[in-house]
Amino acid sequence: MRVWGAFFAAASLVAACESGTLAPGGDDRADGSVAPVDGGGVAGEVVRFAPGTPADAPDHFRRAGVTDPARAAVVDYPLDRVVFPRNVHPPDVQWEPVGAEGDVFRVRVAGASPLLTAFVAHRGAAFQHAYGFDPDAWAAMADRAGTRELTLSVDRWDAARNDVVNGSPVRLRFARGSIAGAVYYWTLGDFGGTQGRVLRVFQGTGGTPRPENFLPTPPARPDGNRCAACHGLSRDGNRLALSLGDGQFGGVYDVTTDLTGPDPTPVFRFTEGWFFAAFNPEGSRILMTDPGQRAFLLDGRTGERVPTPDGPLPAATHPAWAPDGRTVAYVSNANDAWNLSRGDLATMAVTGADRFGPPRVLHRGSDATAAPEGGIMDAYPSFSPDSRLIAFQHGTRVLLSASDAAGALYVLHADGSGAPVRLSNASGGPAGTDAWYPSFTPFVTPGADAGDTYWLLFYGRRDYGNALAGTRGTRRRQIWVSAVATAEGADPSSVPYWLPGQDVAQENASAFWAPRPCRPNSATCSADAQCCSGNCADELTSGQRVCRPPPPEGCRRRGQSCGSSGDCCDRTLECAGGVCLPTPG
């Protein structure tokens, strides 16, 4: 079996513009935060009680349960056979509304024996049939579980009948590796009358993930519109190319600085219209494509146009630059720059300084018309962290506001060898047609089985959870993450998990994962918060302030940013993606 190799590198990042309408939102969860309370149970089992749950709740479940599908709690999330990274934030376990006030639910994760159990009382009309374990208990359970397949079940004590109704378990596993950093995504929330902002949410860095409106007042166009949508990220995650005013102008921002002021200062501005941007690995060049599908280069430090000695670049949209810098992927033969319904996946070799080889079509959208999603469009290529694989979307259209749009995810060797492989597990099954805009994270980690794992972001309108705590029935766009095995197979993808920290009341799309934004050791700085090490100090030789390793008392703990593994307090942690994470085991 051929292996697609693995090393740590950040993916080339780029996002799309869309317009759409915000779907009606739901209420926030009524459960609120959960105070951990240890209780009884078998040896090694950790037990929790949700607020308002009586202490004698375990007694109800000492009897044998009955099977009654009409009264059983059906788990809506997590999805069956999901694979999580080891350090994922605890999922919000959600089940279909069933029962009445006074019933008690037992939420249990088990391997050969129970590992983690919570008792949750039905508290009336505000009850959302959902429960989130506290992070410490979940992390300890994940560490103990290793890569074994686990089951998660929700059993119900029916107070009216005084019996226990067994629920059907879903299966889950953890990879041996962890992933962390910042996810930048586009949301269609209403921001002062303007629909469209790029938000970010941190993953694997401690605390509860929450969307951050890190650039609340982007520059406005003359009519006052402050829409921010299309975006691209530098490989180190420190610079953001942002298209503003519906693609009429834009700028590049240093996201390691405070951008919350009324008029945030960009690294540079540009007045040309553009839709898509891809940084080269060093961040010294940005490949841009405009509404007319014209491709051009900018200097990544100054914003100046850079000539291409071999002549104009071919017509293109959706560019992506390989992490090794040797190849550019894009969509050719498209019928529109961003609202396309026809397109082919193409590449160009990078042959020298600002030089590119001839275009090469790797896959034509019309080659997959017989696929379940149909259509003649390839779109949104994304390179794996080792530059040897390209993920892309195939389907009928890219604009998800079209109710009849259909899409699925595929992978193809970047050298064009072999046939594309459909990622059906990620896309919702062999007949799934609701997966869009794939984007590899910068991580290759040890997997749940032999071999290594990529992690792939995408978005879709599939149901997340139930209708009370999640999005069931709304078709609201949400962001998902799938583990993708590096070893070849019929379908290397896994059933995905929902990206923690999103607002379920908003439409979320076009997500890109980058290392945590911070400056490495030896980089110039003006504040500790800018440094991965958390230490900005005077350099004796130059007199400048630079990021330096922290003093021993300031060492970095699990989930905190770091400049190197030596910055981490615990020697069982390693610095990956700028964050102290557990070593694979």
Is the pLDDT at 43 greater than 70, yes or no? no
pLDDT digits (tens, 9 = 90+) for 46-84: 999 999 999 999 999 999 999 999 999 999 999 999 999
pLDDT of residue 518 exceeding 70, the answer is yes
Model confidence at 120: pLDDT above 70: yes
What integer pLDDT is reported at residue 228 of this predicted model?
Answer: 85
SS3 193: coil
- H/E element, 261: none
Average pLDDT (377-389) is 97
Domains along the chain?
A: 46-174 (2.60.40.10), 178-514 (2.120.10.30), 528-582 (no CATH)
Task: Match 């099954």 to its residue by tokens.
Answer: 429
Quickly count: other Cβ atoms within 10 Å of residue 447's Cβ: 25
Which range (11-25, 161-175, 231-245) has the least confidence?
Answer: 11-25
Name residue 142's amino acid: A
176 Rama sector, left if φ>0, alpha if ψ -120 to 50, beta otherwise = alpha
2 falls in which pLDDT band (50, 70, 90)? very low
Alpha carbon 378 to chain centroid, angstroms: 21
Largest interatomic CA distance in the chain: 80
DSSP, res 137: H
Cα–Cα dist 5/17, whole Å: 33
For residue 554, what are its two tokens?
């300031």
Is pLDDT at 22 greater than 70 in this prediction? no
Residue 95 scores a pLDDT above 80: yes
Write the DSSP assignment of 411-446 as a string of letters.
Answer: EEETT--S--EE-HHHHTSTT--B-EEEEEEEEEEE
**Neighbouring-strand partners of residue 284:** none
pLDDT band at residue 99 using 50, 70 and 90 as cut-offs: very high
Q: Where do the H-state alpha helices sit in 1-124? A: none
End-to-end distance of the chain based on CA atoms, in angstroms?
24
Block residue for tokens 């209708």 = 467
- In this prediction the pTM is 0.89
If one counts every other C-beta atom within 10 angstroms of the C-beta of residue 577, the result is 25
Q: 585: pLDDT confidence band, cut at 50, 70 and 90?
A: low
pLDDT value at 160 more than 90: yes
Bridge partner list, 537: 546
Mean pLDDT of 377-390: 97
**Contact (CB, 8 A) for 378 and 393:** yes
Tokens of 546: 């630079």
> Is the per-residue pLDDT at 247 higher than 80?
no
Res 149 pLDDT > 80: yes
Confidence of residue 272 (pLDDT cuts 50, 70, 90): confident
Q: Where are the beta strands (DSSP E) in 398-529?
A: 407-413, 421-422, 436-446, 452-460, 478-485, 497-498, 508-514
pLDDT the model gives residue 10 = 29
Confidence of residue 516 (pLDDT cuts 50, 70, 90): confident
Q: Distance (Å, rounded) from C-alpha 144 to C-alpha 39?
A: 19
**CA pair distance 154, 71, nearest whole angstrom:** 12
| Residue 304 confidence (pLDDT) above 70 | yes
The rounded mean pLDDT for the chain is: 89
Residue 5 is predicted with a pLDDT of 29
Query: What share of the chain in percent tops pLDDT 90?
Result: 72
- What CA–CA distance (Å, rounded) separates 579 from 582? 10
What's the confidence (pLDDT) of residue 25? 28
Judged by DSSP in three states, 312 sits in: coil
Q: Fill in the amino acid letter for 361.
A: V
Per-residue pLDDT tens digits for 529-544? 899 999 999 987 777 9
